[in-house]
Structure 1
C-alpha cells in the first residue's frame, strides 16, 4: 500500500528541493535529495513527494505527466494519485510518499536517515580484485553494471582503485591492454551488457594475441529474464568464447571471491584474457561476513630453468659461433638487462622485432634497431651476415622476417611458441631472464668477432640516408623523416610512446631512434585506433613518465572522443598526429597490387582546433622548421596536447 512518512518524526532530515515558483501547477518533476530520487508533483495547489520508481518496471515517474487528475508512468501508462501515490481501482501497487513542507525559502522534503550501506557480492569481488593488484579499471557505467560500479566507487573512495570513465568501450579495452603491456600486470575493462560488452572485443583480441593479461568485466541482464531475449541481452559466454581464456557467469550461489581470484590467476599466469559476466541482480546481493581473497599461497614463482639437455645443446652451438646475433621480441621486455650483458659478452649485435622496439637503445654499441618491414637496413644486414641467431621472446611473424636459413637457438617461456612455424636448431623452454643469465655463467670465454665497429659503420650509412630524406619536399606536406628527426631531438628519454597503425607507424619504426623510451603498439592484431586509448592506459600505468602518442588521421579518427577523457582526468599526453587526409598505408598497398587507389581519402576537421574545443592544447604545423618549437610547446603544456602535422602521404 502507499505509505507516507510522518512529518515531525525525530529521525527525519529536511532537505530543500525546489524554489517556491520552480514547479508550475499541474506538472511533475524528478528531484534528487541526497541519493533519493523523488517525483515531485504540484497539483491543485499542493506539493507532494513520491518515490520516483514505478513499482512495475522501475519507470521514472518524474518524467511522466499529470492527466485527468492522475500521474501517469511514462513507461507503461499506469496511473497513480499525485497526492497519495495510490492507483485507481483499489489496487495495492502504489508508491510511497514523503512529507513535504512549504517554507518561506522553498519546498522541503523530509527523509529518514539512510541505513548503513550493506556489503554486497560486488564489494567482495572488488576487494578481491584490488588485493590481487588491480589498481585501474577503464570503462563505462551503465544500467546493467550499477551494483558493481558502486562497489568500485567505494574502493576508489578508499584509495584502492582508480576508475577511468571512457567514451567508448573499445577504448577501455585498448587502454587496459596497453597498461598490461607496459607493466606486465593486469588492468580491467568494464562495460554493460549487450553492445557495451561486444564493444570490448577488439581491444581484448589485441591483448590476447600480444600476450597481455587483462580482466574483462561485463554486466548482464537479470538471470530471471536471461534466455528468452531481454533488452540488450547477448549470449556473452558465446560472444567471448574465442577471445577469453577463461570466462564465467557470476551466479547467486557462486563462491564470489574465488571466482574473481580464479579470473585473475588465469589472466596473470596464462598472460591472457579473463572474463566475468555479472548479472544485474547478483551484483547487489548482500554478502555480509563473506571475506575477500588474496593471491598469497595461490601463485607460484615463474622462474623456469631450461632442461639440462637444452642448455648443453645451446652452449655447444654458441661456442662454435663467430658472428652470433641476438634477436629480441616483445616477450623479452622485462628481461633486457641480462640479455644486453650477454650480448656484450658475445660481442653480438642485438636486433629487435617491431613490437620490441626500444628494448635496447639504438645508441648502444651493439644496438641495431628493428628487423623487418618496419625496420632499418642495419638490423637486416647483421642478420644476413650472422652465423647464428639467438632469439629471445620473439614470435617469428612474417612481418619481422627472421630468416630460417641460419641456425637458430630459440628461447621462450611458452613451450608452444618454440619452433611454431618451422624447425629451429635448439628450442629452449625457460624463463628468459633465467636463461640469459645461465648462458652468461656457463658459457665461459668465447672467441667471437667484435662487431661493434661494423655496427657504428652501418648506423653512419643509415643516418646519412635519413638526412638526405629529410630534404625531400614535394610541396604537399612535411615528410616523415623530418617529423621523426624532430622527435629524436625533443622527446624525453624516459617517455612512453604509444603508436597507432599505418604509414605513420612504419615511419616511426624506421626513423625514430630510441634511447630509454618504452614503445607500445597493437602488434599481432595491428588494430587501427589503438594509439590514443593506449596512451591513456600508459599514462595511468606510469604517470611520472611523459606519455607520447603517434598516430595518423585515420587511427585517431576512430577514437577521437577519448581526447575529452584525457582532458577530464588532466592527463599529460602529447599527441603527434600526422594528417595527410588519407589512409596512406592502404593507398600504398593498392598501388603495390597494381590496383586503382580507391576509397582511402578522408574528410578531416582541423584536429588542432578540435583539440582546443575539447579543452586541450592544439597546434598545427605546416613547416618543418617549426617542428621542434611546436613539439617542445606541447611537451611543456600541463594536460593533453595535440600537434597536428600536415604530412605528405607519399614521403613516408
Structure 2
C-alpha cells in the first residue's frame, strides 16, 4: 500500500531524455533531485553533496560511480552510498515509471512556518513599502522568498533589474516623485556596494529610501569569507538608519524604525540580513507591525516670531518674487495660489522645474545655469525673494543681495550658506495657511503679469533665432526640445539625465502639467533610464513616463531597456547622441585645456532597442523630428527615439 504522505511528481516526460549512464537535475515540489540512469535503472538522489552542497545533477558517472562536480566525491548512482559504505551517503527517493514518464516520490511538504523574514516583509508592506527593485541571489534567498509570498498576495511588486545601481536610482526616483520610500534589494558584497551611488542620490535630494541587503552567515563575518563586506560599516556615511538584523532582534520594530526614519527624515535607511537569520522561524508570538499609532502628522507650524517677521516683510514689498525648489513639490498648488494672491512672479530651481507651468501668467521658468533669462530678470528686479523648499545651490544662484524669506521643513537647510533675513522653520502647507490668513487684504504688490508676458516674448524671439542654426553633424538640441514642446504628453513624468542634454532640457522645454525627476545635488550621470523605471512603478498607466538621456549617461545602464521590455513598461526614451561627453569637453575648453578622452564609440541605439524587444527609431535631420516623435508617443509599449545631435548646438 502506498504511503499517503508520499506525493509523486513527474520529473521526466520521456525516458529517452536521460540516456543510460547520464544524470540530470530535476525538481520535485521544492526538493532538488539528482536523477540518474544507470544499468537500466532510474534512481533519485538528493541533489546536494553532503560535503559542501555541490549539485550532483551536474556531475557525471565515471567507472560506475556518481562524481560530484565540485570536489570529486563519489557515490553509487542508485544507492547514494560512497565507496566502502560509510555513513555519509546521500538520501534517496522512490521512483516509478509509467509509460515513457518517470516519477519521483517525496514526502508531502509541511505547511510553511513563519520566518523572521516573513514578519519583516509584512511589516514593510504594512508601512506602505510595496515596490522593490533588485536582484535575487545566493545571500538573500530567504528574504526574497518572504517577498514572494507578499507578491502572491497582491501586496508587493518586485522588479528584477540588470544592475543594482539601476535599482538604487529607481528607488530614489520613486521617493522623489511620491515622497514615500521604495526598496532596493541585493546580495552581500558587490551587489550591495553597487547601491552606493543611488543611495547618495536619494540622501542629498532628501528622498525617502530603503535598502535591503543580504549578508554572509554571521559565523564567518570577519574571516575574509567570499563576498564578505561589513555593510553596516560601509554604509555608515550614507544611511541615517543602518542596522544588521540579528536572530534576537525585535524584528517588526526594526523594520518599522527603518521605514519610519526614511519617511520622517526623508533619508536613507539600510537593513542587512545575515544568511542564517533570513529563514529562522519567528517566535510564536511575533507579529507584523503597522504604522498605526507609530507616526505623527508633519504639518508643523513655524515659530510665531519668524512667521510674524515674514508677514511684515511681505506687507512692505511691492515686487515680491517667489522661488520654488524641489522641496515644495507636494505643495505646489498652495504656493501658486499664494503667488496669485500677491501677483508675484514664480521662478523654480532646476530640480523644481515644472512646479508651475511656463504657460501660467506668473510662471517665469527655471532660474540659474539651466534656466531662462526671464527668471533671472525678475529675481534681479525684485524687492523681496520668498523661497520655498530650495537649497541655494551654486547651480541655481539665488542672490543673497535681496531681502529674503526662506521656508523649509529642515532647520539645518535654513541659512545654510549665508544669512537670510527671515528663516522660517515649518512645513510649507501650514506656513502658507498662516501667511495667507495674516496677509489677507494687507498687501500692496504690483501686478507683474504684463512684464512677464513681455519677457517671454523676448525669450521666444531669441529661441526662434537659435532654431535657424543648423549643422551637417546633427540636429540642434533646441530643435529637439521644441518638437517635444509640441508633441510630448502634457502630463508626463519627465526623467532627466546629467550633461548638456539636461542643460538644454532645462532651458528649452516648456512644462505644463509635468513632473521632473533628476539627480540634483549629486548630479550623477546615468540617472534617467533607471529613474523612469521607478517613475512608472509609481504612476502605472495613469500618466506617461518619458526619459531624456545623453549617449554618455545612457550607456551606463543601457541594459535596463530589457527591464522595460520584461515588465512592459511603456516608457518613452529619447536619446541625444552626439558621440561625445559634450559637457566635459565644454569644461575642458573653459579651463583652457585640451579636449581629451571625451569622444565616444556608440552602438546604433535604435537597433539596440529593437534587439531588446522595444520599438526603436533613429533620426539625424530636424525635418524628420516631428514624424518620428509622433510615432514614438503612439507606441503602446517601451520605445526609443535616438536623435543624432550636434554637440555644439545646445
Q: TM-score, normalised by structure 1?
A: 0.98
User: 2:2 matched to 1:8?
Assistant: yes
In structure 2, the residue matched to 1:622 is 620
Alignment gaps of 5+ in structure 1: 1-6
Pairwise mapping of residues 160-559 of structure 1 onto structure 2 (< 5 A)? Answer: 160-287=155-282, 288-444=284-440, 445-543=442-540, 544-559=542-557
Secondary structure of the residue that 1:152 maps to in structure 2? Answer: helix
Following superposition, the deviation at residue 289 of structure 1 comes to: 4.1
Structure 1 Cα separation of the partners of residues 534 and 602 of structure 2: 26
Q: Matched residues in 2 for 1:111 and 1:8: separation?
A: 12
Q: Deviations over 1:379-428 (max 9, x none)?
A: 00011111111111100000000011111111100000000000001111
Deviating 4+ runs (over 6 angstroms): none
Task: State whether structure 2 residue 110 is matched by structure 1 residue 112.
Answer: no
Q: Give the C-alpha shift of residue 68 in structure 1.
A: 2.5
Match of 1:123 among 97, 118, 121: 118
Alignment of 1:556-575 (within 5 A): 556-575=554-573
Q: Distance in 2 between matches of 1:86 and 1:8?
A: 25
Q: Which residue of 2 aligns with 1:583?
A: 581
Residue 69 of structure 1, CA deviation: 2.3
How far the C-alpha of 1:89 sits from its partner, in A, is 3.7
Q: Which moved more, 1:568-577 or 1:617-626?
A: 617-626
Does residue 85 of structure 1 match 2:85? Answer: no
Q: Distance in 1 between matches of 2:11 and 2:296?
A: 57
Superposed CA deviations along residues 133-165 of structure 1, whole A, max 9, x for unmatched, are 011000000000001001111100100000000
What whole-Å deviation, never above 9, does each CA across 1:83-114 have from its counterpart, x for those lacking one?
11122344322221111123322222122222
How far apart are the structure 1 equivalents of 2:627 and 2:530?
Answer: 26
Q: Which ranges of structure 2 fall in alignment gaps of 5 or more residues?
A: none
Residue 592 of structure 2: aligned partner: 594
Do the aligned residues in 2 keep the contact of 1:16 with 1:106 (CA within 8 Å)? yes
Deviation by residue 1:342-399 (Cα, 9 ceiling, x = unmatched): 1111111110100000001111111101000000100000111111111111000000
| Segment drifting more, 267-276 vs 81-90 | 81-90
Corresponding position of 1:68: 63
Question: In the aligned structure 2, how far is the partner of 1:20 from the partner of 1:299?
Answer: 61
> Aligned to 2:629, which of 628, 631, 650?
631
Hey, what's the Cα distance between the residues in 1 that align with 2:191 and 2:445?
57
> What RMSD in Å do the two structures reach over aligned CA positions?
1.1
8 Å CA contact 1:166–1:172 kept in 2: the answer is yes
Structure 2 counterpart SS, 1:436:
helix
User: How far apart, in 2, do the equivalents of 1:438 and 1:493 lie?
Assistant: 33
Q: How many residues are aligned here?
A: 646
Separation in structure 2 between the aligned mates of residue 483 and residue 555 of structure 1, nearest angstrom: 18
Cα distance in structure 2, aligned partners of 1:323 and 1:423? 21
CA distance in 1: counterparts of 2:28 and 2:620, whole angstroms: 53
Aligned counterparts of 2:62 and 2:217: Cα–Cα separation in 1: 33
Deviations 1:142-192 (A, max 9, x none): 000001001111100100000000000000000000001000000000000
Is the CA contact 1:342–1:437 (under 8 Å) kept in the aligned structure 2?
no
Structure 2: distance between partners of 1:172 and 1:108: 41
Partner residue in 2 for 1:4: none
Query: What are the Cα deviations for residues 301-329 of structure 1, in whole angstroms up to 9, with x where unaligned?
Result: 11111111101111111111111111111
Shift of 1:629: 1.7
Distance 2:174 2:459 in 1: 33
Counterpart-to-counterpart distance in 2, 1:94 and 1:379? 78
| Alignment partners' CA distance in 2, 1:322 and 1:171 | 48
CA shift digits 1:535-565 (9 cap, x unpaired): 0000000011000000001111000100000
Alignment of 1:45-56 (within 5 A): 45-56=40-51
Q: In the aligned structure 2, how far is the partner of 1:290 from the partner of 1:51?
A: 33
Does the Cα contact within 8 Å between 1:85 and 1:97 map onto a contact in 2?
A: yes
Match of 2:93 in 1: 98
CA deviations 1:414-448 (Å, max 9, x no partner) are 00000000000111101011112211110132111
1:194 and 1:32 map into 2 onto residues whose CA distance is: 29
2:132 is matched with: 137
Q: Deviations over 1:27-49 (max 9, x none)?
A: 22111233221111122222211
Instruction: State the 1:82 CA deviation.
Output: 1.4
Distance in 2 between residues matched to 1:86 and 1:267, nearest whole Å: 54
- 1:25: how far off? 2.1
